[in-house]
Amino acid sequence: MALTYADVSRLFQVKPGRKFSLKHHDPGWAGGGEFKELRTQELKARATEFLQKNIGELAAAQELLYASDVHSVLIVLQAMDAAGKDGTIKHVMSGVNPQGCQVFSFKKPSDEELDHNFLWRYMKALPERGRIGIFNRSYYEDVLVVRVHPEILTHQRLPPGERGAKFWNARFDDINRFERHLARNGTLILKFFLHLSKKEQKKRFMARLDEEEKHWKFSFADLKEREFWDDYQSAFADMLRNTSTRWAPWWVIPADHKFITRALVAGIATASIKQLGLKRPSVTAEQRRLLARARRQLGGGK
Ligand code: AMP
Ligand code: MG
C-alpha cells in the first residue's frame, strides 16, 4: 500500500482533545482513494505484500529495541468478539524473535486479582525494557465489559459511591495517568481498536457454526454479548474519546477485512518503533581495546 504514515495517522488516529464519533470510521474501509479502482484480489495482494515487508522490518526494529535496552513497547488490542485480535497477533508478530516478545490474554479476573486495584494485574504483566508486550484485552475491559455490565463492579468491592459518569471519568483519568507514567519511563504505547461491523460479526459467527473446523471457536458467551452491541459501541466511543492522549493515542483500525487490519497494525507498529530513532549501543575506545585483545586471545591476529 502506498499510504504514508501521515495519511494513516489522519485516517485512523483518534486525535486527543478533539470531538470523536465512531460513525466517521468505516469498519469496511478497504483502501479508499487510488485503491478504490483495484479489484479485491489485487488489493489483498498489495496489503499482503505490505504486511510481509513490515513483518521483516518489525523484527529488525525489535532487535534494535533489545540492543539499545531503553524502551519497551506495549501493544494494546481491544475489540468486539471475532474482530480478529488473535489473527492479528499471529500474523503481525510472526517474524519477531519469540524471546523479544510476550503476549498476555486477559480473562475474567481471579479472586486474587479482584482483591487488588483494577490496574494491578496489568501492571504485573508489562513488558520489560527491550521487549514488545501485547495485551490481548487489557485494563480497558474495566471501562468496557464492566461498564456494559455494571453488576461486575460489585465483585470489585469498591468504596461506596455513585457509579455514574463521574465514576467512569475517574477511571479514564486513572488510565491516562497510568499510561503517562509508563510513557515517561520509556514505554511506547500503541493502542488498537479493531473496528468490526455488526454485519461482519454475524458472518464470522455463522462461519463458526457452519464450518466444522471452526466449531471450536464458537462461544455462546460471545452470542450473548452481541445482544449488547449498542451498549458496547457507546462504551467504546466514550473510551476512545477520553483516553486518546498525546502520549498514548488510540488507533481505530477497520476490521471487516482481515488483510487490511493486519497490514495497518503492522505498518503503524513498525513506523512507531522506528520513530524512536533507536541506535545500536556505541562501543567505547576502552571496549574496542578489550575486543581487540579478545580477538588476539582467540588467535585471530592483529
Ligand atoms: P476471551 O478473550 O474470548 O477468552 O474472553 C475473555 C472474557 O473475559 C471476555 O468476556 C471479557 O469481557 C472478560 N474480561 C476480560 N477482562 C475483564 C475484566 N477486567 N473484568 C471482567 N471481565 C473481563
Ligand atoms: Mg471470546
CA dist., res. 231 & res. 129, Å (int): 37
User: Which own/partner contact pairs does 287-291 have at CB distance under 8 Å and 24+ positions apart?
Assistant: none
Q: Give SS3 for 136.
A: strand
Which residue has cell 471475532? 82
Per residue, the 3-state secondary structure of 152-190, as one string, reads: HHHHHCCCCCCCCHHHHHHHHHHHHHHHHHHHHCCEEEE
pTM of the shown model: 0.95
CA dist., res. 121 & res. 114, Å (int): 9
Which ligand 1 atom lies nearest to the CA of residue 145?
12
**Cα separation values, 199 from 12, 27, 210, 237, Å:** 21, 10, 16, 19
Give me the pLDDT at residue 137, please. Answer: 98
CA 57 – ligand 2 centroid, Å: 30
Give me the pLDDT at residue 24, please. Answer: 94
C-alpha cell at 254: 477497520
For ligand 2, a single-atom ion, the residues with CB < 5 A are 81, 219
CA angle 238, 184, 158 (to 5 degrees): 50
DSSP state of 102: E
List the chain pLDDT tens, one digit each, 302 residues: 578 899 999 999 999 989 999 999 999 998 876 677 777 888 889 889 989 999 999 999 999 999 999 999 999 999 999 999 999 999 999 999 999 999 999 999 999 999 999 999 999 999 999 999 999 999 999 999 999 999 999 999 999 999 999 999 999 999 999 999 999 999 999 999 999 999 999 999 999 999 999 999 999 999 999 999 999 999 999 999 999 999 999 999 999 999 999 999 999 999 999 999 998 888 999 999 999 999 999 998 66
CA 12 – ligand 2 centroid, Å: 25
CA dist., res. 240 & res. 183, Å (int): 18
Q: Give SS3 for 224.
A: helix
C-alpha cell at 169: 471519568
Q: Give the largest Cα separation in the chain, rounded.
A: 76
Length of the chain: 302
The bridge status of strand 101-105 relative to strand 72-79 is unpaired
DSSP state of 137: S
The identity of residue 300, as a single letter, is G
Residue identifier of the C-alpha nearest atom 4 of ligand 1:
107
Residue identifier of the C-alpha nearest atom 15 of ligand 1:
107
